[in-house]
C-alpha cells in the first residue's frame, strides 16, 4: 500500500506533509534512493518519527507521494498551457509543452532520475494511469481545437517523444536546456509533419 495513512485536512497538517515531502525530495536529490529512510526524512524535516508515521507508514508510501506530487506539478503546468492564449497554434502549443516539460524534469534532474527509478520498484499506482489519461485528454482537446487529425493518438505520441528524449537527456546528465528543447522540438514537429 503506497497511499498516505491519513490525509491532512488542516493547514498545519498540510504544511507538515509538505515539509516531509520537501525533506524527502532534498535527500533523494542529494544522496539518492538508498539514503531515503523514514528516520532520515523525519530528522531532515525537523519532526519526530511518530509524526511522520501518522502520514507515511513506510518509505514506499513516501516515495509514491513524492512521485504523485511531481506529476501534479507537471499536470498543473499543462493545464495552464492548454487553457492560455500562449497555445493559439500548433507550433506555439508544441513550444510551450516542450518548455514546461524540460523545465519540470531538469529543474531537479537528480530527483527526476531517482523518482524514475523508484517508479520501477514500487507497486503499480492507479494515480499514474489517471495522470497519464488526464494529461493526454488535455492535450488531445487542444489538438482537436487546432484541427489536428487523430488528436488522442497524436497527444500520446507527442508525450512519448517528450518523455523519451527528456528522460534520456536526464540520464545522460545533460544540462543544456536550450539544446534539449531545440532537439525535442525538431523531433515533435518532424513527427507532426509526417503524421499530417
Q: Say if CB 185 and CB 161 are below 8 A apart.
A: no
**Which of 98, 109, 86, 114 minimizes the C-alpha distance to 180?**
98
Task: For residue 9, name the pLDDT band (cuts at 50, 70, 90).
Answer: low
pLDDT by residue (tens digit) across 118-141? Answer: 888 888 888 777 888 999 999 999
Residue 96 DSSP SS3 = helix
Which residues are within 8 A (CB) of 55 and not within 5 positions of it... i.e. 6 or more apart?
4, 5, 6, 8, 16, 17, 20
pTM of the entire predicted model:
0.81
Is 174 within the bounds of a domain? yes
Is 21 within the bounds of a domain? yes
CATH number at residue 56: 1.10.357.10
Hey, what's the torsion of the CAs at 140, 143, 149, 150, to 10 degrees? -10
pLDDT by residue (tens digit) across 27-40? Answer: 999 998 899 999 99
Query: By residue range, what is the domain housing residue 122?
Result: 11-195
Is 171 within the bounds of a domain? yes
Amino acid at each position: 500500500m503506497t497511499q498516505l495513512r491519513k490525509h491532512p485536512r488542516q493547514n498545519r497538517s498540510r504544511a507538515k506533509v509538505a515539509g516531509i515531502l520537501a525533506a524527502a525530495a532534498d535527500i533523494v536529490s542529494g544522496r539518492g534512493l538508498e539514503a531515503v529512510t523514514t528516520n532520515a526524512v523525519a530528522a531532515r524535516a525537523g519532526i519526530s518519527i511518530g509524526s511522520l508515521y501518522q502520514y507515511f507508514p513506510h518509505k514506499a508510501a513516501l516515495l509514491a507521494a513524492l512521485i504523485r506530487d511531481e506529476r501534479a506539478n507537471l499536470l498543473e503546468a499543462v493545464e495552464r498551457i492548454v487553457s492560455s492564449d500562449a497555445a493559439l497554434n500548433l507550433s506555439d502549443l508544441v513550444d510551450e509543452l516542450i518548455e514546461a516539460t524540460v523545465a519540470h524534469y531538469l529543474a531537479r534532474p537528480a530527483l527526476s532520475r531517482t523518482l524514475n527509478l523508484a517508479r520501477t520498484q514500487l507497486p503499480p499506482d492507479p494515480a499514474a494511469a489517471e495522470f497519464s489519461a488526464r494529461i493526454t485528454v488535455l492535450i488531445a482537446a487542444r489538438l482537436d481545437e487546432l484541427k489536428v487529425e487523430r488528436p488522442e493518438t497524436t497527444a500520446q505520441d507527442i508525450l512519448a517523444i517528450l518523455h523519451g528524449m527528456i528522460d534520456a537527456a536526464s540520464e545522460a546528465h545533460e544540462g543544456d536546456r536550450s539544446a534539449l528543447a531545440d532537439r525535442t522540438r525538431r523531433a515533435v514537429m518532424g513527427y507532426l509533419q509526417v503524421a499530417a
